[in-house]
Chain A
Amino acid sequence: MEAAVADDAKPRLPRGVRLTHNEAQGGWVLLAPERVFKADTITVEILKRCTGEATVAAIVDELAQTFAGAPRERIHGDVVALLAGLKEKKLLEV
């Protein structure tokens, strides 16, 4: 696994990776070169915030507010794990 994603990184989807909604496929999908990933609701919430402007820390703060009740530390861990996995698959620029 690559190094963890830093708090001040500003993740974004690179060109050629797009999040889109498709009724016939039953929801949100992440389209990438030769690959399609089905994204669950949490993934969508995270990816929609990966605009290249928000930092990881800001994304985590916002999610912690939106999903009040989840400890920030845990959300942080989950977000970083997701983003690191996507980065390794070349689905995210950090």
Chain B
Amino acid sequence: MTSGPQTPDTSPRLRGDVDARSASGDGAMLTVEHPKDAPHPDPLTSKSDISDLDKSVSDRTRVNPSSVASGQREKKLSAPLGLLAELTHRCPLGCPYCSNPLALDPRSDELDTATWARVFREAAGLGVLQVHLSGGEPAARRDLPEIVKSVRDAGLYSNLITSAVGLNADGLRKLADAGLDHVQISIQDSEEASADHIAGYKGASARKRALATEVVKLGLPLTINVVVHRANIARVEPMVDMALSLGASRVEIAHVQYYGWALKNRAALMPTRAQVEDAVRAVEHLRAAHRGHIVIDAVVPDYYARFPKPCVGGWGRRSLNVTPAGKVLPCHAAEVIPGLEFWNVRGHSLAEIWRASPAFNAFRGDDWMQEPCRSCALKEKDFGGCRCQAFMLTGDARNADPVCHLSPHHTLVEELASERADDAYSYRHLSASKSRDVKEPVHSGLQAED
């Protein structure tokens, strides 16, 4: 569409527009887009159930004459919608399903306040609309209020993705005053003892409830994020009830996606197919029951799917991920794929990176695709699924995501889903000596691994 609030000329058009869009069942004259798939406190990868809603993104693609990839035809570059800023890998919690990489960036390598501010200005120039402040625990950074302000100053929407541990009412107020738009708090379970066990932090659950109350008191919109796995999957309903009672306007029911620490803990986290089916039914029921009161978004359980998720809305199409040390990734797990060259905001502008970095161009378009993706009618819709998962499970990032039932490796996923072991969690851990400026007691139940 053209820019600017031009006055429509004729009355029939006024009515026509409304009717046309309403008929689509979307309720209004709006096109729905989801700018990010990755960002989660306990990061997951993508929401398959909302993926087909970004039609207008492809409508807006343009030919970029200075396209870099050598020898390739001109590529259409879309403008990114979301930027996941991993401000730090430090985190007081040890959630075993964390999808941060096993090798975490130390504090000494973290980008400074001014560099983040520049990154946000450059992101705005590229078309990014929303910034997701994540980590690790973003509140582990003392300059978080300045960072939030710099997001706002760049004209962007700021979303804080927090564990709520390490952030008190005063700290939250400073963020609200700095222009914070939205807060997302993760909860681990509706049962306190189980929640604290999963987080590897005694007292975490109580802190989360307390901060959620403060968020609502300040008038900020609150999302409760629940990561679902074998230990809590039976309690989807009480967890949504908990979100409602905390005053959340939105809840994310996110089945674990197996990257990073979650992959390491896969056998301890994996639910059964029957449990997954019950949970999916519970979500459908809850959506209907609470329609208009709370928005329920769901991240589907990958390993039990027939079709893959359109991971991050397509590689290098909609989002950017900046690591604590400034590396820019097409998705937060991308570093597991060997041979990709990532560029750093310390050496390049974000626009250069988006347009020309080898990692971003590696899986754009469909030149890289193999069968069964190449000739598949769904390739524009799911982009062959997740490159990282394809690599991790089949050894080749160009393969179809084996979650797809058309993949020759699909039986492997079924086998892996059936591997369950009641092992103790291997808690995600960044050594405590580097995490001390999180003003919280060092928790028990966390085993050092380094």
Q: Say which one of B2-10, B137-145, B329-337, B412-420 lies at the interface with A.
A: B2-10
Pick the most buried of B18, B60, B127, B181: most chain A CB atoms within 10 A of its CB: B18
Q: Beyond the given A16-B221, A39-B30, could you list 15 further A-B residue pairs with CB under 8 A, ordered by the A residue number?
A: A2-B292, A26-B3, A33-B221, A34-B297, A35-B33, A37-B31, A37-B33, A40-B30, A41-B8, A48-B5, A66-B7, A70-B12, A74-B14, A85-B26, A89-B295
Bound form: Cα–Cα A30–B292 in Å: 19
Q: How far is the CA of A28 from the CA of B297 in the complex (A)?
A: 24
Q: Which residues of A contact B297 (CB under 8 A)?
A: 34
List chain A residues, Cβ under 8 A from B446.
Answer: none
Q: Does A87 contact B (CB under 8 A)?
A: yes
Q: Which of A2, A27, A32, A89 interacts with B4 by CB under 8 Å?
A: A27
- Is B356 in contact with chain A by the CB < 8 A criterion? no
**Contacts A16-B220, A85-B28 given: A36-B6 contact, CB under 8 Å?**
no
Q: How far is the CA of A28 from the CA of B2 in the complex (A)?
A: 9
Closest to B80 in A: A24
Report the bound CA distance from A84 to B18 in whole Å. 13
Within 8 A of A (CB), among B6-32: 6-8, 10-12, 14-15, 17-19, 22, 26-32
List the A side residues contacting B33 at CB < 8 Å.
35-38
Interface centre among A14, A29, A41, A74 (most CB of B within 10 A): A41
Q: How far is the CA of A41 from the CA of B7 in the complex (A)?
A: 7
Interface of A is mostly: mixed
Closest chain-B Cβ to A76's Cβ sits at a distance in Å of: 11
Q: Which residues of B contact A75 (CB under 8 A)?
A: 14-15
Q: Which residues of A contact B127 (CB under 8 A)?
A: 22-25
Closest B residue to A43 using CB positions? B29
Q: List 7 A-B contacts (CB under 8 A).
A: A22-B129, A25-B81, A40-B29, A44-B5, A82-B18, A86-B27, A89-B27
Number of chain B residues close to chain A: CB under 8 A: 55
In the complex where A33-B221, A39-B29 touch, is A70 in contact with B11 (Cβ < 8 A)? Answer: yes
Residue of A nearest to B60 (CB): A26
The smallest C-beta distance from A21 to any residue of chain B, in angstroms, reads 7
Pair A36/B35 contact, Cβ less than 8 Å: yes
Q: B residues within 8 A CB of A66?
A: 7
B38 to chain A, nearest CB (A): 11
B126 within 8 A of A: yes
**Which A residues touch B157, using CB under 8 A?**
18, 31
Contact A74 B30 (CB under 8 A): no
- Residues in A with CB closer than 8 Å to B29 are 39-40, 42-43, 82
Residues of chain B with a CB closer than 8 A to A71's CB? 11
Chain B residues near A2: list those with CB within 8 A.
Answer: 292
The yes or no answer to B56 lying at the interface (CB within 8 A) is yes
In the complex, A87 Cα to B293 Cα: how many Å?
9
Q: Which residues of B contact A41 (CB under 8 A)?
A: 1, 5-8
- B5 contact from A15, A45, A90, Cβ within 8 A: A45
Give Cα A24–Cα B61 distance, bound, in whole angstroms. 10
A32: chain B residues at CB < 8 Å are: 221
- The chain B residue sitting closest to A70, CB to CB, is B11
B3 touches A21 (CB 8 A): yes
Q: Is the CB of A27 within 8 A of B8?
A: no
Check if A51 is an interface residue, CB within 8 A of chain B: no
**CB neighbors of B among A37-92 (8 A):** 37-45, 48, 66-71, 74-75, 78, 81-82, 84-90
Determine whether B365 belongs to the interface, using a CB cutoff of 8 Å to chain A.
no
The reply to whether B2 and A27 form a contact with Cβ atoms under 8 Å apart is yes
Name B258-277 residues within 8 Å CB distance of A.
none
- B11: A residues at CB distance < 8 A: 67-71, 74
Cβ-based interface call for B182 (8 A): yes
Contact A81 B32 (CB under 8 A): no
Taking CB atoms, residues of chain B closer than 8 Å to A90 are 221, 249-250, 294-295
Give residues 28-82 of B contacting A (CB, 8 Å): 28-36, 56, 60, 79, 81
- Min CB distance B128 to A, Å, is 8
The answer for the CA separation of A74 and B10 in the assembled complex, in Å, is 13
What is the minimal beta-carbon distance from B429 to any residue of chain A, in angstroms?
28
The 8 A-B pairs at the shortest CB distance, nearest first, are namely A24-B127, A85-B27, A70-B11, A16-B221, A69-B11, A85-B28, A78-B18, A37-B30
Q: Evaluate contact between A70 and B14: CB separation under 8 angstroms.
A: yes
Chain B residue with the shortest CB-CB distance to A69: B11
Looking at the assembled complex, report how far the CB atom of B378 sits from the nearest CB atom of chain A, in whole angstroms: 24
Q: Is the CB of B291 within 8 A of A88?
A: yes
Shortest Cβ gap from A47 to chain B (Å) = 10
Cα–Cα, bound, A48→B22 (Å): 20
- Asked whether A25 lies within 8 Å of B22 as measured between CB atoms, the reply is no
In the bound complex, CA of A38 to CA of B11 (Å): 21
| Cβ–Cβ < 8 Å partners of B101 in chain A | none
- Among residues of B, the one whose C-beta sits closest to the C-beta of A29 is B129
In the complex, which of the residues A26, A39, A44, A69 contacts B10, with contact meaning CB atoms closer than 8 Å?
A69
Q: Which residues of B contact A34 (CB under 8 A)?
A: 34-36, 130, 159, 182, 184, 223, 250, 252, 297
User: Cβ of B155 < 8 Å from any Cβ of A?
Assistant: yes
